[in-house]
Amino acid sequence: MEDHSLEKKFSKFIIAVSIIIPVVVGILFGVKLKDLGFHVEPLPFLPPIYATTNGITAIVLVWAVIAIKSGKRKLHERLMTFAIALSVAFLVMYVAYHMTTDSTKFRGEGIIRFVYFFILITHILLSIAIIPLVLITYVRALAERFDRHRKIAKITFPLWLYVAVTGVVVYLMISPYYV
């Protein structure tokens, strides 16, 4: 049975989360705990972990699409929930790293510099845009509005996959410059 009220119920939450997460991440990105008087050790080990988390997210997303196309709805549901959990874990590690460690500058030159910044900028912009898309897609599935879920999932999936894959690419491109 479809639950139309569930979508309505979550709409304000989705809007709030879609605004709050990028704003808070943007603010925290510029905050260094040491500048606030906290004695914290840098966390230089996190980038390969959160890049791996992005890579696993990409694999889980593809696996989830294969599962649903094979009629394995429960597996699809579990995989999508896991993909969201992985994305939240990525976000926590990313913020923790940037609050404890100075940012690394990309020092590549020539065309590779343009490629890096193109990938980085599209990754950042789409990582912001993907928040409401994922939440809306997920809520529509929970509400059993599968017709509407499928429509938005056709947009959400490739964008989320792009964000996950480019997260790994950005890491691989900047990793030679980590101190």
- What's the pLDDT tens digit per position in 27-56? 988 888 888 888 888 899 999 999 999 999
For Cα atoms 96, 103, 44, give the angle at the middle one, nearest 5 degrees: 55
Pick the more confident residue, 41 or 73.
73
DSSP 45: T
Question: For residues 149 and 139, is the Cβ–Cβ distance under 8 A?
Answer: no
What confidence score (pLDDT) does residue 115 get?
A: 98
Q: Is the pLDDT of residue 146 over 80?
A: yes
> In terms of Cα–Cα distance, which of 165, 142, 21 is closest to 91?
21
Task: Provide the terminal-to-terminal Cα distance of the chain, rounded to the nearest Å.
Answer: 55
Residue of 167, 155, 165 whose CA lies nearest to 130: 155
- Listed in sequence order, the residues at least 6 apart from 65 whose beta carbon sits closer than 8 Å to its beta carbon are 76, 157
Count how many residues are written for the chain: 179
Higher pLDDT, 118 or 36: 118
What is the C-alpha to C-alpha distance for residues 130 and 155, in angstroms, rounded to an integer?
A: 10
At 102, the pLDDT band (50, 70, 90 cuts) reads confident
pTM listed for this prediction: 0.92
pLDDT of residue 37: 84
φ, ψ for residue 58, nearest 5 deg? -60, -45
pLDDT for position 3? 56
Instruction: Output DSSP code: residue 101.
Output: S
